[in-house]
Structures are given as structure tokens and as C-alpha cells.
């Protein structure tokens, strides 16, 4: 009876000690999962997912397991890729969050532009060229269709057009 | 006695009923003068050409009407004289589908005669001038891709084998066959010109074995020229032996690496139609203004090959060939394998449309019943690119781009062989084309995303730098004001001192 | 020679999953994706072999000499639990992605009856250390083969046109049943 208790206690202590030592010598690899998740997102920083930028959304997916269907510009392809890497089932895209899309570009009507520079300041990828008091224009090849420039314009001179035109 | 080598041993491919007897019974018809020309500005892979004429302007035969600086674009010339009626966007055929392009609408002056430009632009002596002449004549690859010929010939890589593609393996199409039968001397002129430009070790003219008249006509001309480097290669009668990569592999025995071009294994491949156009340029200084088009099928009264001015509408072409027959139900541009049906005959014919089929219901498969894949493997046996359509089907339906890349969907030439042999009648090529288009969009999106990330990071760094500079400026200014205020205080006190002494002096005086 | 027969028997003839029906939970749970399946097979293999060897040592050098064989079950479970934790540490270090994909199924290896089964079987039959280890290796090899096979089939099944009531687990179970019938064909192959 005594030997049995001693043996069990000894076994438990020995195994725990081994595991603690093992834990110290095998620290978890720094999580590159957030980097990998960010690479799957469109990285246009449109914010329609509700997070402050694509990296924030990636971090939220990695740590808080938020739903993976919140990225409108990424679309169903991004949902599928996120589902694959996270081992989750795919979900339907939350289209109610916004319509940002990589297939559209912003276009400034030069006749109406007043040069207030508010749009250029808010563009996350510096795709609007212009200095204050001078006319502004969108550099179409760099515009990502994130729609962030539309709200600040005081004269509503920015519209969205298909990228193929 | 013809001495030519027979090339068999093609990977995959299928034997198809040629159906060329319909259109090869008559010689090439040359008296088509259309009433209207719709001349597209985009008949090449690069950006559209810019019109050099305005509405209302009168143009001459062979005048340049479109011009471009891009090396992936080509000049456009009008085949007939007439008045420019409009410049507007129209739907035009391009490759495997229709696109919208700026077009010049021309009212043709049917009475005008053709002018000769021979003496004005003789074939130059210098290599670079020759390439420029080819560029100015708007010559592009007439085999389908419309790649500007001058750009293709402007290569620093050594060419071992120059191949001329007269295989014409797709059913119904016979324009190259007739061209070789009737214009072997002009074609060989172009062949010679290209040999001069590229200086290859060998030159092979590929003709399918079931075109004996073409082989004989070309062989006779070669023997007359006496150029030992030029040889005829009689290729196997299998579709798609005439595909550029397939032909190169068949003749040279080496595979063109995936995603790369034949020049990288020392081969240049040109269509015999392109050689003909070059021959016309060399001998008569003619820019490219027309091409031979096969008009065939049971739906047209007089099927034949016609020399068609570029920009002629399908409607006028079919009218010229006797019009539609009663049973005509479908209009197809291209051959029966890679062609596509169109719903309007107001479309213009371009530099690369080589065939128009008006078909009746008994000539084509009008419906199909898709059933599940039974894993028979026939599709993999016939694939000329050695792909696995069976494995590709599932990821193509699901747009699984990783899987598609690992199975090399990018190399699919969309020939349609797998469709023909599938016992379950699965439209494989359609799924692959869909997936390919989605893949293309996906790649573009990825590139955009990469750039966006970079630009965003740069912007954030720029803003950070700005903030730091502003902060520094503020701090410097504060320090300066503090410094100045000290010396200012001293100056004020010194002034007060002087004033007091002055006052006391004055007081003392009184 | 006998060692080879042990491996063959443990892997195929008396396959733990399809013939003895042990360890079905990770078998069905981790066979959704090929990379998860291979990872799970390797992890289980490591645990099995470790547990097999350690349990043999504990049995023959502590339990029997000290007359503590009534503690066998508890001791084995402790050992298996520790082995699983160790494997999880390793996996977390080597591939965080796989760790995330397998998720909950890694600690569940501890409750995999195949692992405990191997440990107990080793003690009921007279074995040497080497044959015990080979037995564990053979069992894990069989587990790995079957898991990989089923995951390959399930990946294809995902894209097939399956009637709604059968989609997901039902068709996976049907498939596993048919595979099991195939493995029963090995019966009588050898006599050990």
C-alpha cells in the first residue's frame, strides 16, 4: 500500500518535472499565423470589417476567433483561403458590411474639385495626387477601391468606376 | 520526287474528321468588294492603335488609319478607298471572345482602283530598317495571337530552327491550305526574308500529311529557289498538331518550358499567312490589308475561301458567298474546336479571324447531358500538354487556385480534346476557361494587394517622419524663443539703465 | 523476421482502427484534411511508441518486482498523458499551424483507446522491449495508413455530388465501413 502510494507520487513528480523542463526548453515558435493571415487579406485598409486596418483584423481572427467572413473586398476567395488555413468551415460573405472591391477605382470630377486635400489625406495608399488649393486626381493603377475618399469630399466630386475602363 | 520528313509521335491529340472538302473545291475568291468596312483599332495584344484619320476624311487604298507606339501593338491600314463615316466603339472578335474596341467606319468607294506603293517603299537593306518596315506595314501573327511580327523577330537570342506553321489541324479551316496551293512563291519570299532576318540553322515548313497539293506546290517552289536550308515537315494528321507549342515539340523534340516562349529553346514559329503578308511587303510594299478567310458549313450556299478586306462584316461576306441556306442555325467564328458562336453577323472580320462557319443543326452537337465523372482516364490520354483534366475538374469548379497551380492549369491550351472524348459529356474546357479567368483576376488582385501594402507602409513612415520633423521644429523654436527672451531681458534692462542715467544727468544739470 | 511479422500484423492484419475498432474518435475527427491527417498520424505515432516503450519499462522494472501490478492502469494513463503533453509541446514548437489545425484532437490522443490498448496488450503478452517497441510502431503505422487513406477519400468526397442526408460524417462512416471490410481480407494471412 505504502509502496504503491510512493510509486505513484514519485511517478507524478517525475513526469511533471520532465514536462516543466521540456516546456522551458521548447518554447512555442513566435506566432507567424498573424502574418500569414494578413497575407491572405487584400491589405487595402478599407476598414469595412470593423477593425483598424487589415492587420488588426488578422490579429482578431488569430486570437479572438472572430468570423472570417467580414472582408468585402476579399470576397469569397479570401473566406475560402482563411477557412483553409484556420481549419474552419467556409461562411457566406457579410455583404452588409460594405461594397469595397478591388475591381473598382475612384474617379475625381476635375470640374468640381476645390483642392481641399481632404481625400488625399485619408487615402491609405497615397493614390490621390494633389496639393492644397490645386486640382486633385486619382492615380488609377494604385487605387484599390476602398471607398475611404468618398465621405470626406465636401463637394461630392468623387465617384466609383469599373477598373477595366 | 518530294523529299520531306514525316513527323509522327505527337503526345496526346485526337483524330478528327477534317470536313475541309466543303471549302477546298474552288480556288480562292478575290472579287469581294464590301460596301462598308468596320476597321477595329485593337487587333493585337497591346493597347489599341490611335486613329490617324477623322470623320469625313477621304482615305486611299492601303492608307494607314491607325498607329501605335507600343511594341505589342501594330499599325492598321485600310484595304479600300472611301470616306470615314464615324469613329465609334463596336463589338469585335478577339481571340476566343468578343471585346469592345474603337473602330473606324468606312463607306467604301467601290469604284476606286488599287494603287501601287511599290516604288515609294522599296524593301530596305538594313536589318533595323527592315524591322521598321514590317512594323509600319502592321504585320502581326496571323495564326491567331496577332503578336506583332517585328517584335517577335527583334530578338537577340539565336534562332536554331525557324518553323512555318502550315499544319492547319482544326476541322473546317482551309485558308492556309489554299494559300499554300496558290501562293507558294509569295510565301517563300516571306520565308526567305525571315531567314535573312533571323539566320536560323534550319527552316521547316510544317504541313499536315493530308494536304498533298499544298505539299507539292510548296516543294516545287522550294526546289526552284534551291535553298537547302528550307525543308518541308509533313506532320501527323492529329489535332492539335498545329498548336505552336505542340508543333515545336513535335519537330524539335524539346518541350517549350511552361510559361516561357519557343525562342528560349531556339525556335521561332510563324504562320504561313504571316510569311505571305511579309512576301507581299517585300515584293510590292503592300501593308497588311486583307486575309484569306474560309467560309464553310452547310448553312452557307457557296462554301469557299475568300480574300477578305479587313473590316468586312460577316453579313457582307456570307452574302458574297451566296447567303445563308434554309437550315442555317448557328454562326461560328473560328474552327469547330476552338471557335465560338456569335449572335450577330454585323461583326467585322479582323486580321486573325480565319474562318466563318454557318452550320446547320446536324453539323454540331446542339445539346449535351453532363453526368458525373467515371474516372475512365480518356481525357488524360488525349491531352496534348500532358495535363490531368480528371484531377483539374474539381478544383476548377471550386476555384481552388493552389491546387490549380500545382496541377498546371496555366498550361492548358483550351484545345477541347478532353471534351470530345469524355463519355460523361462534361464540358471540361468550359470549366477550365472559367477557372483560368478567375485565376487571372486573382493574380491581379494579389498584385494590387502587395502594392497596396507597400504603399500603406510607406505612407505611414512618411507621416511619422513628418510628425518627427514638426516636433523637432517646434522644440527648436521654443528653445530659440527662450534664448532670445534672456538676451531681450538684458537689453531691456540696459535700456532702462541708460534712460535712468540720462534722466539723472538731466536732473543734475537743472 | 519475427519483428517484421509483428509490424505487419499490428499495422494491417489486426489494424487497430479498422479491425479492432479502437481509436475511432481521432480517426474521424482529424481526417478532414490531408495535412491534418498526416500530422495527427505522426503525433499519435510518437505517443504510441513512447507509451509502448515506457509502459513496458515501468511494467517490467517497477510494477512486477514491487508487486504493484494493480496500479498498472493508473500508471499507464499517467505515462500516456505525459507523452501526449510532451508531443503537444513539440508540435507547438515545430509547426504552430498544424497545432492550430489539429486543435482539440491533440490532447484527445490521451483518451485514444488504441494507445492504452497497445500498452495493455504489451503487458498481457510476453514480449521483449524490442518487440514491444515494434508492436507500438506497427500499431501507429497502421493507424497512419488508415488515417491518410480516409483523409484522401474525404477530400475527394467533398467535391462529389453526394445526397444531402449523407454529406459530411455519414458518408465518411460508410466509407470507413467499406475500408474495414477490405482490411478484414487480411484475416488469416499469418498466424502469430
The ipTM (two decimal places) reads: 0.83
Residues of chain B with pLDDT > 70, as a percent, come to: 98
pLDDT tens readout for residues B379-409: 999 999 999 999 999 899 988 888 899 999 9
Determine whether C103 is exposed, middle or buried from the number of CB atoms within 10 Å of its CB (0-12, 13-18, 19+).
Answer: middle
CA end-to-end span of chain A: 86
- Between B24 and A33, the more confident residue is B24
Beta-sheet strands, E only, within chain A: 104-108, 128-129, 137-138, 158-162
**Does residue B208 have a cis bond before it (omega within 30 degrees)?**
no
Q: Does residue B228 carry a pLDDT above 90?
A: no
- What cell does C33 get? 484534411
C177 vs C124, higher pLDDT: C177
Q: Is residue A57 part of a domain?
A: yes
Q: Does B465 touch chain A (CB under 8 A)?
A: no
C181 touches chain A (CB under 8 A): no
The DSSP annotation for B394-461 comes to: HHHHHT-HHHHHHTTGGG-----HHHHH-TT---HHHHHHHHHHHHHHHHHHHHHHHHHHHHHHHHHH
- Of A97, A123, A145, which residue is a domain's last? A97
Q: How is residue C140 written as a grid cell?
A: 501507429
pLDDT at A163 (0 to 100): 83
Chain C residues with CB under 8 Å of a chain B CB are 156, 159-161
When mean pLDDT is compared across A37-41, A82-86, B456-460, the lowest value belongs to A82-86
Among chain A residues, the shortest Cα distance to B455 is held by A125
pLDDT of res. B119: 64
Phi-psi region of B285 (alpha: psi -120 to 50; beta: other; left: phi over 0): left
B456 in contact with A, Cβ within 8 Å: yes
> Three-class SS of residue A48?
coil
Is residue B333's pLDDT more than 90? yes
Residues in chain B with CB shorter than 8 Å from the CB of A43 are 449-450, 452-453, 456
Per-residue pLDDT, A74: 87
Task: Report the CATH number at residue A146.
Answer: 3.30.70.20
pLDDT in tens, B51-91: 999 999 999 888 999 999 999 999 999 999 999 999 999 99
Q: Do A149 and A122 share a structural domain?
A: yes
* Inside any domain, residue C174: yes
Does residue B398 belong to the interface with chain C, where contact is any CB pair within 8 Å?
Answer: yes
DSSP B232-260: EEEE-S-BTTTSHHHHHHHHHS-PPPTTS
Say how far apart CA C172 and CA C31 lie, in whole Å: 9
Instruction: State pTM to two decimals.
Output: 0.82
From its phi and psi, is residue B422 left (phi > 0), alpha (psi between -120 and 50) or beta?
beta
Candidates A40, A53, A124: best to mutate against B (most CBs of B within 10 A) is A124
A 10 A CB-CB count for B468 gives: 10
Tell me which chain A residue has its CA closest to the CA of residue B453: A43
Task: Give the domain range for residue C61.
Answer: 19-178
d(CA B313, CA B349): 6
Interface test with C, best of A14, A15, A18, A63 (most C CBs within 10 A): A15
Q: Is C110 inside any structural domain?
A: yes
Judgement on whether residues A79 and A114 belong to the same structural domain of the protein? no
Percentage of chain C surpassing pLDDT 90? 26
Contacts of A35 (CB under 8 A, 6+ apart): A58
Is residue C52, in this structure, part of any structural domain at all? yes
The answer, yes or no, to whether residue B187 has pLDDT greater than 90, is: yes
Q: Please report which confidence band the pLDDT of residue C168 belongs to, taking 50, 70 and 90 as the band edges.
A: confident
Burial B415-435 (b: 16+ CB within 10 A, else e): bbbbbbbbeeebebbebbbeb
Answer yes or no: is C6 within a domain: no
The reported pLDDT for the residue numbered C96 is 77
If one counts every other C-beta atom within 10 angstroms of the C-beta of residue C50, the result is: 20
Tell me what pLDDT residue B233 has: 93
Q: What distance separates the 2 farthest-apart alpha carbons in chain B?
A: 143
Do A73 and A118 sit in the same domain of this protein?
no
Q: Say if C187 falls within a structural domain.
A: no
Query: Is A5 a member of any domain?
Result: no
Distance CA B423, CA A20 (A): 62
- C139 pLDDT higher than 60: yes
Cβ neighbours of A28 in C, within 8 Å: 92-93, 96
Task: Check CB contact of B448 with chain A, cutoff 8 Å.
Answer: yes
pLDDT at A165 over 80: no
d(CA B229, CA B227): 6
Per-residue pLDDT, averaged over C109-127, amounts to: 84
Range of the domain at A121: 103-165
**Smallest CA–CA separation between A86 and chain C, in Å?**
6
Task: Give residue for cell 483553409.
Answer: A84
Mean pLDDT of chain B: 91
Q: Which residues of A4-36 are buried (b: 16+ CB within 10 A; e: fewer)?
A: beebeeebeeebeeebeeeeeebeeeeeebbeb
Best residue of C35, C159, C160, C163 to probe chain B, by most B CBs closer than 10 Å:
C159
CATH number at residue A80: 1.10.15.40
Q: What is the pLDDT of residue B487?
A: 77
**Cα four-point dihedral sign C87, C89, C90, C91:** positive
pLDDT (tens digit per residue) in C18-40: 999 988 888 888 888 888 899 89
pLDDT of residue B74: 93
Return the higher-pLDDT residue of B400 and B297: B297
Quick check: helix, strand or coil at residue B483? helix
Chain C nearest-CA distance from A44, in A, is 25
Angle at CA B228, nearest 5°, toward B224 and B229?
Answer: 120
Q: Look at residue A18 and tell me if it is in a domain.
A: no
Confidence (pLDDT) at B377: 94
Residue at A26 is within a domain? no
Q: Which domains does chain B have, with CATH numbers?
A: 5-112+123-320 (3.40.50.11540), 367-510 (no CATH)
- Which DSSP symbol is given to B14? B
Contact call for B394 and C161, based on CB within 8 A: no
Distance CA B464, CA C2 (A): 72
Q: What's the domain count of chain A?
A: 2
Give yes or no for residue B327 having a pLDDT over 80.
yes
| Partner-chain contact B397 C156, CB within 8 Å | no
Give dist(CA C92, CA A23) in Å, integer: 10
- Residue B182 is predicted with a pLDDT of 95
Confidence label for B490 from pLDDT (cuts 50, 70 and 90): confident
C-alpha cell, B268:
521561332
**pLDDT interval class at B221 (50, 70, 90):** very high
Q: What is the pLDDT of residues B127-160, one digit of tens each?
A: 888 999 999 999 999 988 899 999 999 988 899 9
Whether C86 contacts chain A with CB within 8 A: yes
Is B462 exposed, middle or buried (CB count within 10 Å of its CB: 0-12, 13-18, 19+)?
exposed
Do the Cβ atoms of B320 and B33 come closer than 8 Å? Answer: no
Q: Domain total for chain C?
A: 1
Closest chain C residue to A31, measured at CA: C96
Give the model's pLDDT for residue B117.
Answer: 63
C-alpha pair distances (Å), B425 with each of B376, B380, B391, B416, C167: 12, 15, 16, 12, 25
Residue C3 belongs to some domain of the structure = no
Q: Which residues on chain A are in Cβ contact (under 8 Å) with C91? A: none
Overall average pLDDT of the B161-166 stretch? 95
Among residues A60, A75, A97, the one where a domain terminates is: A97
How confident is the prediction for chain A on average, in pLDDT? Answer: 87
Are B372 and C161 inside 8 Å of each other by CB? yes
Q: Give the Cα-Cα-Cα angle C90, C95, C97 (nearest 5 degrees).
A: 130
Which residue shows C-alpha cell 521483449?
Answer: C128
pLDDT of residue B1: 37
The pLDDT, as a whole number, for residue B172 is: 94
All residues at 6 or more sequence positions from B132 whose CB lies less than 8 Å from its CB, including other chains = B124, B150
Amino acid at each position: 500500500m505504502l509502496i504503491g502510494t510512493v510509486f505513484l507520487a514519485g511517478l507524478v513528480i517525475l513526469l511533471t518535472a520532465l514536462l516543466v523542463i521540456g516546456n522551458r526548453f521548447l518554447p512555442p515558435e513566435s506566432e507567424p499565423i498573424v502574418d500569414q493571415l494578413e497575407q491572405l487579406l487584400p491589405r487595402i485598409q478599407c476598414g469595412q470589417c470593423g477593425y483598424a486596418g487589415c492587420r488588426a483584423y488578422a490579429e482578431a481572427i488569430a486570437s479572438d476567433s472572430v468570423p472570417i467572413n467580414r472582408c468585402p473586398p476579399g470576397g469569397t476567395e479570401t473566406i475560402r483561403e482563411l477557412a483553409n488555413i484556420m481549419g474552419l468551415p467556409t461562411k457566406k460573405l457579410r455583404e452588409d458590411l460594405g461594397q469595397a472591391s478591388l475591381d473598382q477605382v475612384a474617379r475625381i470630377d476635375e470640374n468640381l474639385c476645390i483642392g481641399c486635400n481632404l481625400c488625399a489625406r485619408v487615402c491609405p495608399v497615397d493614390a490621390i495626387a494633389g496639393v492644397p488649393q490645386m486640382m486633385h486626381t486619382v492615380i488609377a493603377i494604385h487605387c484599390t477601391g476602398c471607398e475611404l475618399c468618398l465621405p470626406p469630399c465636401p463637394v461630392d466630386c468623387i465617384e466609383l468606376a469599373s477598373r477595366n475602363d | 520526287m518530294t523529299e520531306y520528313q514525316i513527323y509522327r509521335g505527337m503526345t496526346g491529340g485526337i483524330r478528327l474528321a477534317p470536313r475541309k472538302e466543303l471549302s477546298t473545291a474552288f480556288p480562292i475568291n478575290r472579287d469581294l468588294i464590301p460596301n462598308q468596312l468596320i476597321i477595329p483599332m485593337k487587333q493585337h495584344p497591346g493597347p489599341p492603335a490611335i486613329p490617324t484619320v477623322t470623320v469625313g476624311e477621304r482615305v486611299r487604298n492601303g492608307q494607314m488609319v491607325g498607329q501605335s507606339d507600343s511594341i505589342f501593338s501594330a499599325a492598321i491600314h485600310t484595304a479600300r478607298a472611301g470616306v470615314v463615316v464615324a469613329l465609334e466603339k463596336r463589338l469585335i472578335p478577339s481571340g476566343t471572345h468578343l471585346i469592345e474596341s474603337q473602330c473606324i467606319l468606312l463607306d467604301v468607294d467601290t469604284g476606286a482602283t488599287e494603287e501601287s506603293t511599290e516604288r515609294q517603299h522599296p524593301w530596305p537593306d538594313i536589318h533595323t530598317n527592315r524591322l521598321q518596315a514590317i512594323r509600319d506595314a502592321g504585320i502581326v501573327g496571323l495564326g491567331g495571337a496577332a503578336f506583332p511580327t517585328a517584335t517577335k523577330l527583334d530578338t537577340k537570342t539565336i534562332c536554331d530552327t525557324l518553323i512555318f506553321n502550315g499544319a492547319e489541324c482544326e476541322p473546317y479551316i482551309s485558308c492556309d491550305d489554299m494559300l499554300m496551293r496558290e501562293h507558294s512563291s509569295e510565301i517563300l519570299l516571306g520565308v526567305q526574308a525571315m531567314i535573312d532576318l533571323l539566320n536560323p540553322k534550319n527552316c521547316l515548313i510544317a504541313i499536315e500529311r493530308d494536304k498533298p497539293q499544298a505539299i507539292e506546290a510548296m516543294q516545287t517552289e522550294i526546289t526552284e529557289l534551291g535553298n537547302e536550308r528550307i525543308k518541308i515537315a509533313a506532320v501527323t494528321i492529329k489535332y492539335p498538331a498545329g498548336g505552336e507549342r505542340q508543333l515545336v515539340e513535335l519537330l524539335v523534340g524539346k518541350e517549350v518550358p511552361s510559361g516561357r516562349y519557343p525562342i528560349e529553346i531556339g525556335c521561332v514559329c510563324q504562320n504561313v499567312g504571316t510569311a505571305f503578308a511579309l512576301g507581299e511587303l517585300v515584293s510590292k510594299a503592300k501593308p497588311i490589308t486583307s486575309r484569306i478567310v474560309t467560309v464553310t458549313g452547310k448553312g452557307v450556299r457557296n462554301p469557299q475561301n475568300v480574300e477578305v478586306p479587313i473590316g468586312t462584316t460577316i453579313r457582307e461576306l456570307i452574302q458574297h458567298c451566296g447567303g445563308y441556306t434554309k437550315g442555317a442555325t448557328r454562326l461560328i467564328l473560328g474552327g469547330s474546336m476552338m471557335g465560338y458562336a456569335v449572335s450577330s453577323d454585323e461583326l467585322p472580320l479582323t486580321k486573325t479571324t480565319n474562318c466563318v462557319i454557318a452550320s446547320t443543326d446536324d453539323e454540331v452537337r446542339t445539346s449535351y447531358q453532363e453526368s458525373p465523372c467515371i474516372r475512365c482516364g480518356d481525357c488524360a490520354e488525349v491531352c496534348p500538354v500532358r495535363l490531368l483534366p480528371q484531377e483539374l475538374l474539381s478544383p476548377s469548379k471550386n476555384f481552388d487556385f493552389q491546387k490549380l497551380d500545382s496541377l498546371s492549369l496555366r498550361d492548358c491550351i483550351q484545345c477541347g480534346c478532353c471534351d470530345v472524348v469524355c463519355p460523361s459529356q462534361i464540358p471540361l474546357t468550359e470549366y477550365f476557361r472559367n477557372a483560368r479567368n478567375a485565376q487571372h483576376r486573382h493574380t491581379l488582385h494579389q498584385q494590387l494587394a502587395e502594392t497596396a501594402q507597400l504603399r500603406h507602409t510607406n505612407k505611414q513612415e512618411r507621416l511619422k517622419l513628418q510628425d518627427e520633423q514638426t516636433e523637432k521644429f517646434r522644440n527648436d523654436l521654443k528653445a530659440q524663443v527662450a534664448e532670445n527672451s534672456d538676451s531681450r531681458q538684458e537689453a531691456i534692462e540696459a535700456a532702462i539703465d541708460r534712460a535712468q542715467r540720462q534722466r539723472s544727468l538731466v536732473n543734475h544739470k537743472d | 523476421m519475427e519483428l517484421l511479422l509483428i509490424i505487419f500484423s499490428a499495422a494491417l492484419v489486426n489494424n487497430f482502427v479498422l479491425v479492432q475498432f479502437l481509436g475511432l474518435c481521432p480517426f474521424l475527427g482529424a481526417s478532414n484534411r490531408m495535412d491534418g491527417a498526416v500530422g495527427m498520424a505522426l503525433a499519435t505515432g510518437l505517443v504510441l511508441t513512447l507509451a509502448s516503450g515506457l509502459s513496458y519499462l515501468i511494467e517490467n522494472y517497477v510494477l512486477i518486482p514491487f508487486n504493484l501490478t494493480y496500479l498498472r492502469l493508473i500508471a499507464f494513463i499517467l505515462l500516456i498523458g505525459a507523452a501526449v503533453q510532451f508531443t503537444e509541446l513539440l508540435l507547438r514548437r515545430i509547426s504552430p499551424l498544424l497545432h492550430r489545425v489539429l486543435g482539440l484532437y491533440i490532447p484527445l490522443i490521451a483518451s485514444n483507446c488504441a494507445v492504452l490498448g497497445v500498452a495493455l496488450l504489451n503487458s498481457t503478452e510476453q514480449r521483449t522491449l524490442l518487440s514491444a517497441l515494434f508492436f507500438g510502431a506497427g500499431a501507429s503505422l497502421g493507424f497512419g495508413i488508415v488515417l491518410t487513406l480516409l483523409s484522401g477519400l474525404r477530400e475527394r468526397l467533398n467535391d462529389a455530388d453526394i445526397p444531402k442526408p449523407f454529406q459530411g460524417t455519414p458518408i465518411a462512416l460508410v466509407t470507413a465501413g467499406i475500408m474495414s471490410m477490405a482490411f478484414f481480407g487480411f484475416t488469416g494471412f499469418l498466424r502469430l
